[in-house]
């Protein structure tokens, strides 16, 4: 008899049950268990670097951190979806919120219901810094002693004079050792000037010689005994600037002293001889006190100063005029300068500068430019520009003379000259090249050679051969190409 497969299976199940075995059907139909991720950590003093593996088909990517056994918080991913675990494929996270002296535990979840292994990091507490030893320094400070102001000392930059009359008149001049205002300093070696004015007479300026001031601590004191009754005296101290490039002395802080003629009582037996008033000749301004010089350069090319100045038509020349008072004793007043431009040079309006400052007055090339007063040793630099008018120049190089004239009150006029070389280039024109007989023969030979070459090439073509055969058959001229 033949048993069916179902019968055999039934018999086996009955024997399995008789022997005490059971069959768990759920094990055959239950879902497979999720494989957890594997977490590792690299601990550091300021950060912990976590890395993990991701199993296939994972549906989560989150990191949970516990601090010193407290409840865990999500630091990556989690319900708040913290970056960078928002990307399910991220396999690393760096925890930078780490402090020394704490224990941090981490777990990773690649599945919502399965967590990885736990890793921990314990950071080392920071060492306690030993404070440096306290050093107590004992310093004996020397108190700064402020000198008591001398009530007899004058203010800085001011002269104080005491006029003493009598049979032996004298004048006492005092000035402070402190620096005067506006950055100037006293130059004792230059001495002191004195202006002598007789009553109703004309003034004269001299330099005190010898000049021997007395050091009074906080000020200088000078006794001038070279005085007579009936005169007025005015004094100047010499100062010089401490900044800038000027080194000339300037006059400042004048002090007037007028002396009264004393009443002399003659002796009964001796006739008093009246004092003789000397005649003082005023010191004129030296002839060489007023000086002027000129230089220039090409302003259009920003070139250097040259002599003569080289420019082209249409370009501008910069003319530099230097007016100087070479006297160290007296100033100049009413100074006027004028620049005479020759024909062909046109003054550029608004180009004048005085001492590096632009001037709005354009009269230097017309009626003249007023400079006013020029102090002892002072120099004033004036610049202006002129354009070379191309219409008024011939082709080639033309030399022009620019003259500067300077006038001052009580001084003779002075002048200086500057040479400007103006170049006008020849304008471009069309040129015709003349050819000789040899050139004509060469051209004719080339043309005939080209025609011959073309004809020879034509005789080798099929068209020529057909025409030649046709012309022979018709008894025509072989060179007759008419159809």
For 109-175, the DSSP string reads ESBTTB----EEEEPPPPPPPPPPPP------PPPPPPPPPPTTSPPTT-EEEEEE-SSS-EEEEEE
Q: Tell me: pLDDT of 276 over 50.
A: no
Weakest-pLDDT range from 34-38, 121-125, 180-184, 403-407: 180-184
Across 107-111, 133-137, 208-212, the highest mean pLDDT is recorded for 107-111
Structure-model confidence comparison of residues 292 and 67, the more confident one: 292
Q: Tell me: pLDDT of 351 over 50.
A: yes
378-422 tens-digit pLDDT: 999 999 999 999 899 999 999 999 999 999 988 889 999 999 999
Weakest-pLDDT range from 18-27, 221-230, 358-367, 457-466: 18-27
What per-residue confidence (pLDDT) applies to 345?
95
Q: Tell me: pLDDT of 42 over 50.
A: yes
In the predicted model, what is the mean pLDDT of the chain? Answer: 76
Query: 9's torsion region: left (phi>0), alpha (psi -120 to 50) or beta?
Result: alpha
What per-residue confidence (pLDDT) applies to 44?
85
**How far is residue 384's CA from residue 359's CA, in Å, rounded to a whole number?**
10
Q: Mean pLDDT across the stretch 217-243? A: 69
- The two structure tokens encoding residue 345: 């040079």
What per-residue confidence (pLDDT) applies to 10?
73
- The two structure tokens encoding residue 47: 């950060």
Across 67-76, 138-147, 293-302, 419-428, the highest mean pLDDT is recorded for 293-302
- The two structure tokens encoding residue 258: 């007028």
Structure-model confidence comparison of residues 134 and 302, the more confident one: 302
Q: Phi and psi dihedrals of 38, rounded to 5?
A: -110, 125
Q: Tell me: pLDDT of 359 over 90.
A: yes
Q: Tell me: pLDDT of 187 over 50.
A: no
What per-residue confidence (pLDDT) applies to 145?
59
**How far is residue 50's CA from residue 119's CA, in Å, rounded to a whole number?**
9
Measured CA distances, 314 to 15, 310, 390, 403, 425 (Å): 129, 12, 6, 21, 11
242-254 tens-digit pLDDT: 444 433 333 443 4
How many C-beta neighbours within 10 Å does residue 309 have?
25
Query: Burial of 130 by CB count in 10 Å (0-12 exposed, 13-18 middle, 19+ buried)?
Result: exposed
What per-residue confidence (pLDDT) applies to 267?
39
Q: Phi and psi dihedrals of 206, rounded to 5?
A: -135, 160
Residue with tokens 């003259």: 403
What per-residue confidence (pLDDT) applies to 316?
96
- Rounded to the nearest angstrom, the gap between the alpha carbon of residue 271 and the centroid of all alpha carbons in its chain is 81
Q: Tell me: pLDDT of 349 over 80.
A: yes
3-state secondary structure at position 304: coil
What per-residue confidence (pLDDT) applies to 246?
38
What per-residue confidence (pLDDT) applies to 476?
56
Alpha-carbon dihedral of residues 194, 199, 203, 206, nearest 10 degrees?
-30
Q: Binning pLDDT at 50, 70 and 90, where does residue 315 land?
A: very high
* Partner residues linked to 101 by β-bridges: none
What per-residue confidence (pLDDT) applies to 233?
72
Q: Tell me: pLDDT of 96 over 50.
A: yes
Give the sign of the dihedral formed by CA 236, CA 240, CA 241, CA 242: negative
Structure-model confidence comparison of residues 337 and 179, the more confident one: 337
Weakest-pLDDT range from 120-134, 220-234, 273-287, 343-357: 273-287
Angle at 244 between CA 353 and CA 348, to 5 degrees: 10
Q: Mean pLDDT across the stretch 113-118? A: 86
Domains of the chain: residue spans and CATH: 39-122 (2.60.40.10), 159-258 (2.60.40), 287-424 (2.60.40.1530), 446-483 (no CATH)
């Amino acid at each position: 008899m033949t048993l069916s497969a179902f019968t055999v299976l039934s018999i086996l199940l009955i024997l399995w049950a008789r022997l005490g075995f059971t069959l768990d059907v759920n094990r055959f139909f239950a879902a497979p268990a999720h494989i957890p991720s594997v977490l590792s950590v690299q601990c550091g003093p300021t950060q912990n670097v976590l890395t993990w593996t991701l199993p296939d088909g994972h549906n989560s990517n989150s990191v949970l951190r516990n601090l010193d056994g407290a409840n865990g918080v999500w630091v990556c991913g989690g319900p708040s979806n913290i970056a960078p675990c928002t990307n399910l494929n991220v396999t690393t996270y760096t925890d930078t919120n780490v402090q020394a002296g704490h224990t941090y535990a981490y777990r990773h979840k690649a599945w919502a219901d399965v967590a990885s292994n736990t890793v921990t990091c314990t950071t080392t507490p920071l060492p306690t810094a030993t404070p440096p030893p306290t050093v107590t320094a004992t310093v004996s400070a020397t108190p700064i002693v402020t000198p008591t102001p001398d009530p007899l000392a004058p203010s800085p930059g001011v002269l104080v004079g005491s006029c003493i009359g009598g049979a032996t008149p004298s004048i006492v001049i005092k000035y402070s050792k402190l620096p005067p205002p506006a950055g100037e300093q006293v130059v004792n070696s230059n001495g002191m000037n004195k202006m002598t004015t007789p009553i109703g007479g004309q003034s004269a300026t001299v330099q005190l010689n010898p000049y021997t001031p007395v050091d009074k601590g906080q000020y200088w004191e000078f006794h001038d005994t070279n005085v007579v009754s009936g005169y007025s005296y005015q004094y100047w101290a010499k100062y010089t600037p401490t900044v800038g490039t000027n080194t000339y002395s300037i006059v400042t802080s004048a002090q007037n002293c007028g002396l009264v003629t004393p009443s002399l009582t003659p002796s009964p037996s001796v006739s008093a001889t009246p004092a003789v008033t000397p005649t003082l000749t005023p010191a004129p301004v030296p002839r060489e006190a007023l000086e002027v010089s000129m230089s220039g350069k090409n302003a259009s090319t920003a070139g250097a100063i040259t002599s003569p100045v080289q420019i082209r038509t249409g370009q501008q020349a910069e003319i530099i005029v230097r007016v100087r008072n070479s006297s160290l004793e007296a100033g100049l007043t009413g100074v006027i300068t004028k620049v005479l431009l020759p024909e062909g040079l046109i003054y550029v309006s608004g180009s004048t500068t005085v001492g590096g400052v632009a001037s709005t007055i354009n009269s230097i090339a017309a009626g003249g430019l007023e400079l006013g007063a020029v102090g002892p040793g002072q120099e004033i630099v004036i610049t202006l520009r002129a354009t070379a008018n191309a219409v008024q120049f011939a082709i080639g190089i033309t030399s022009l003379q620019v003259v500067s004239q300077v006038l001052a009150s009580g001084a003779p006029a002075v002048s200086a000259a500057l040479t400007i070389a103006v170049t006008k280039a020849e304008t471009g024109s069309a040129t015709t090249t003349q050819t000789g007989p040899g050139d004509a023969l060469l051209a004719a030979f080339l043309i005939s050679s080209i025609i011959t070459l073309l004809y020879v090439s034509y005789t080798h073509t099929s068209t020529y051969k057909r025409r030649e055969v046709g012309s022979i058959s018709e008894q025509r001229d072989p060179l007759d190409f008419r159809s």
